[in-house]
Structure 1
Amino acid sequence: MNNQSEFDSGFGEHDCGLFDFQTFSGVFYILLFIISVTVNIILLCVLIAYENLTNVTNLFVVNLACSDLVFTVTLPFYAADQLHHWVFGDFACKFMTATYFVGTYSSVILLTAMTVDRFITVVLHNWPSNHGRRQRCAMGTCAAAWVISIAAAISDAIKVKVETNQGLNGFFCVGPSNSSVVNVGYYLQVSLLFFLPFAIIVFCYSAILKTVLQASNRKRQRTVVVVLCIVTAFLICWGPYNILLFIATFYIPIGCYLTNRFETAYNICRILAYSHCCMNPLLYMLSQKLRRHLLKLLHCENARQKNRERSTVQSTSVIQNVAFIAQNSAVMLELPSK
């Protein structure tokens, strides 16, 4: 968040007639917080109640949902920062920065691990392995993802602090001033935690899609499609934002026209990136089995079953009544006339 905060507090030129993205972003973050908490908790409840958590894919999805919730916790604070300024103090600045990066880094690592697992399962299916070993590797990978994310996030959080900006009249949670050391560190961070995973994901899915298109196992194809959608959503959401932050470290627009265009692009990419926290549950519901579980969780399925049973009973009663009336009519017709 250090590079982003510097960009927020020092880049915009308010005399250029810029669109008020701060108010729009603040309101959007609040709505995003409500949606993300709701859908991720529902997904966790569905998985815990109806799914086998020893399944490797489900294990990764549970950790991804937790990662999204960790990231979501920061949104109300950033909403308040956008609508006013940073009013939470220095400790909250460091803690929220660490939380932000834990959610972001863990998502990248978990998605890369999920893709590699799909690659091994689909492409290298002849490898000698068993379910127990694969499950242990997945659990170890998830634990490592959290440890690495927390360690990297603490390193980033130490650098940030609350400062005042004379031109904007407020307090801002920002990182250290630009320097060659900071820029080199950020280049390494972006390379190791976005572009390298991106290259791994592209390589793995190229091989996976080639193998799946040649196979006839529809169940495996559905699993691959769901995971592919989850990974693609992450790249679409976070890709433009990371690329723009990378460009912002060495490019400074001059003049109102370029400032407007660059800041507009930045704000749109940031909103798109933050919206990713509620994408995974929506995409995972592409699975027909998960949709059935959701209906059960919401008692819709039970209500439908009761309605069907009630309709069946009513239909049976009507048929019986009709049969009884017909039988009585037949008896009356058979009576001898006087």
Structure 2
Amino acid sequence: MPTNTSALPLTTVSSENSSSIYDYDYLDDVNVLVCRKDEILSFGRVFLPAIYSLIFVLGLAGNLLLLVVLLHYVPRKRMIELYLLNLAVSNLLFVVTMPFWAISVAWHWVFGSFLCKVVSVLYTINFYCGIFFITCMSLDKYLEIVHPQPLHRPQTRFRNLLLIAIVWTTALAISVPEIIFVQVHKTSDGVWHCYADFGGHATVWKLYLRFQQNLLGFLLPLLAMIFFYSRIGCVLVRLRPPGQGRALRIATALVVAFFLLWFPYNLALFLHSLLDLHVFGNCQISHYLDYTLQVTESLAFFHCCFTPILYAFSSRRFRQYLKAFLAVVLRWHQEPGTTHALPSSYSGSSRVTAQEDMVSMSDLGERQADDFLNKGDVGNS
């Protein structure tokens, strides 16, 4: 669950989920610094519900639009579209949890024990799935461009479908602590809160879960994206296809966007771990880190609003389908048969003129695969 989702009294221990481990006080050990967090709680009750509500509105609208276009217009023959479809579903499930946390921060948990566990598990699964599918999309573009293979090869499609299943399974495995430890708790004043209670091992669990977030949720995906897109950049420079400059800018933008959204949050989590390990710290530093964590976490959550659109618009083909969909919406009075018609820009004649336009990395990958098949035909001859 997000930061400050359970506004616990300052005499109890709060435990959060794997993506946002954050204390209002440090009472897990008698040697740990004890600080009052009244101002931080007050700030969170105003700031976080507003941000969570904004994320819910923007994420719901953007991912629903993406989902409709993918389901009704895009032929799901290429894996990049299938990854994007799973990313949109994951982000939708993620933003659906935002209203629950907003109400919990502003007031308290009013949704019962069952929804406490379900919402927490949904949050964690889709938190990680969103990051993993972004990494899978960079892997897919890397394989299409650097190691081109036939696009509809059965073995390739099976491998990618297996990778999608592994992503969901891995995210489910990561959410096991929520399945086991998350439950509702009633305070002495009769207020209910939803959080993970790790008992006497809270500090150990929090350090482990923060490390897991830093490693699986940021460092490894970032290094993978840097490797994949740098190799893609080398191929683009060597082949010099039409639109090379635009493709390089897209690759750079995807890596930079991921870094800017996630680095501040993961740095704040890492500093919180150092604080719990008594490497440094006093109450003033603790307060600053608490404010920083709330702000950087909110920034990171916007990934579900902006990242799918950024990846979708990196494909020229998707922009054509989106234009067709918007044209249908604006001309809703036309015949129903036009709602599912493919955009004219997808016709064979437009493929010729596409060479004169700036192409995306996905278009380059498809051309690489076509060249691979043509070379195979020549060899057989």
- When normalised by structure 1's length, the TM-score is 0.76
Residue in 2 aligned with 1:294? 322
Matched, 1:157 2:157: no
Deviation, 1:285, is 3.1
| Residues 1-338 of structure 1: pairs in structure 2 closer than 5 A | 1=1, 2-3=16-17, 7=22, 9-10=24-25, 13-15=36-38, 20-125=43-148, 131-132=152-153, 133-164=155-186, 171-177=193-199, 178-180=202-204, 183-184=207-208, 186-188=210-212, 190-218=214-242, 226=250, 229-252=253-276, 253-255=281-283, 257-283=284-310, 284-285=312-313, 287-299=315-327
AA partner of residue 219 (structure 2): F
Deviation, 1:231, is 5.0
AA partner of residue 263 (structure 2): G
Listed one character per residue, the Cα deviations across residues 214-234 of structure 1 (whole Å, up to 9, x for unaligned) are 322236876675566445433
Structure-2 separation of matches of 1:166 and 1:254: 29
Q: Cα RMSD between the aligned structures? A: 3.3
Deviation, 1:166, is 6.4
Listed one character per residue, the Cα deviations across residues 274-326 of structure 1 (whole Å, up to 9, x for unaligned) are 111111343123545434433332336865xx9xxxxxxxxxxxxxxxxxxxx
Distance of aligned partners of 1:207 and 1:287 in 2 relative to their CA distance in 1, 3 Å threshold: closer
Q: Is the 8 A contact 1:36 1:277 kept in 2?
A: yes
Q: Is the 8 A contact 2:183 2:197 kept in 1?
A: yes
Q: Is the 8 A contact 1:5 1:173 kept in 2?
A: no
Q: Is the 8 A contact 2:229 2:251 kept in 1?
A: no
Structure-1 separation of matches of 2:117 and 2:217: 20
Q: Is the 8 A contact 2:138 2:229 kept in 1?
A: yes
SS of alignment partner, residue 86 of structure 1 = coil
Distance of aligned partners of 1:185 and 1:262 in 2 relative to their CA distance in 1, 3 Å threshold: closer
Distance of aligned partners of 1:6 and 1:241 in 2 relative to their CA distance in 1, 3 Å threshold: closer
Listed one character per residue, the Cα deviations across residues 91-134 of structure 1 (whole Å, up to 9, x for unaligned) are 22221111011112212222222222222222233xx6553232
Deviation, 1:152, is 2.1
Structure-1 separation of matches of 2:316 and 2:98: 31
Range with greater deviation from structure 2 (173-182 or 4-13): 4-13
Q: Which has the higher helix share?
A: 1
SS of alignment partner, residue 77 of structure 2 = coil
Q: Is the 8 A contact 1:160 1:175 kept in 2?
A: yes
Distance of aligned partners of 1:222 and 1:67 in 2 relative to their CA distance in 1, 3 Å threshold: farther
Structure-1 separation of matches of 2:130 and 2:209: 20
AA partner of residue 44 (structure 1): L
Unaligned runs of 5+ in 1: 307-338
Q: Is the 8 A contact 1:54 1:135 kept in 2?
A: no
Range with greater deviation from structure 2 (73-82 or 260-269): 260-269
SS of alignment partner, residue 193 of structure 2 = strand
Structure-2 separation of matches of 1:166 and 1:5: 25
Distance of aligned partners of 1:190 and 1:91 in 2 relative to their CA distance in 1, 3 Å threshold: farther
Listed one character per residue, the Cα deviations across residues 230-250 of structure 1 (whole Å, up to 9, x for unaligned) are 454333223322332233233
Deviation, 1:9, is 4.6
Listed one character per residue, the Cα deviations across residues 157-212 of structure 1 (whole Å, up to 9, x for unaligned) are 31222235669966242342524365346534542443222222222222222222
Distance of aligned partners of 1:136 and 1:104 in 2 relative to their CA distance in 1, 3 Å threshold: same
Structure-2 separation of matches of 1:196 and 1:160: 27
Identity of matched residues, %:
26
Structure-2 separation of matches of 1:92 and 1:224: 45
AA partner of residue 242 (structure 1): N
Residue in 2 aligned with 1:326? none
